[in-house]
Copies of this chain bind each other. A is one copy, B any other.
Amino acid sequence: MDKVTLGPKPLLYPMPTVLVGANVGGKPNYMTAAWCGMACGQPPMIAVAINHARHTLKGIEENKTFSINVPSTKNAVEADYCGIATGTRADKSKVFENFYGKLKTAPMVKECPVSLECRLFNTMDCGSHALVVGEIVETYADKDMVTGGAPDIEKVDPIIYSNGKYYRVGPYLTDAFSAGKAYKK
């Protein structure tokens, strides 16, 4: 296949759609983000890129806590709304039913099947965005979606973000750490 060069682009396939939660001035606020990935296994940590101008970042710096919430496709309208409206002008504290965990100051979304409660570990200034890394102190999941100790992606039914569009997760393909055994050198 012929290759083309597209210049430096922030592209990855797939990207998730998450809601980053933080209390700003004592009130829950959520922003939608696709630039999020795991950062560490032991202890478990997650990284999310947040533009320096974002309201949510103020809350993370204020409390040193935040949450990563995974919406389901049925939450798509509310999740997208949190990416359109800014907390500096809109009150997003009542878009969802909020709950708090161990850290007391990281608001989480009851309607999201999976929520990670995080303590700020460190940030890296990368340019337009701060890469915010948090240690996951607790994982909250809808009881009916947990199979074998972890939420089942088919039940979670998360939202994929790609180039301005949202997609669903598709069917099972094969087993990891197993399919590769068929590779012939």
Could you tell me which A residues sit within 8 Å of B by CB distance?
1-16, 18, 34-49, 51, 68, 70, 73, 76-85, 94-95, 99, 101, 110, 113-114, 116, 121-122, 124, 126-129, 131, 133, 135-144, 146, 148-153, 156, 158-183, 185
Q: Which listed residue, B14, B138, B176, touches A164 by the CB 8 Å rule?
A: B176
List chain B residues, Cβ under 8 A from A148.
163
List chain B residues, Cβ under 8 A from A127.
40-43, 45
Q: Which listed residue, B139, B172, B183, touches A81 by the CB 8 Å rule?
A: B183
List chain B residues, Cβ under 8 A from A175.
164-166
A15 to B15, CA, bound (A): 7
Closest Cβ of chain B to A182, distance in Å, is 5
A142 to B6, CA, bound (A): 10
Q: Which listed residue, B39, B84, B146, B169, touches A126 by the CB 8 Å rule?
A: B39
In the complex with contacts A14-B16, A38-B35, A178-B80 CB distance below 8 A: yes
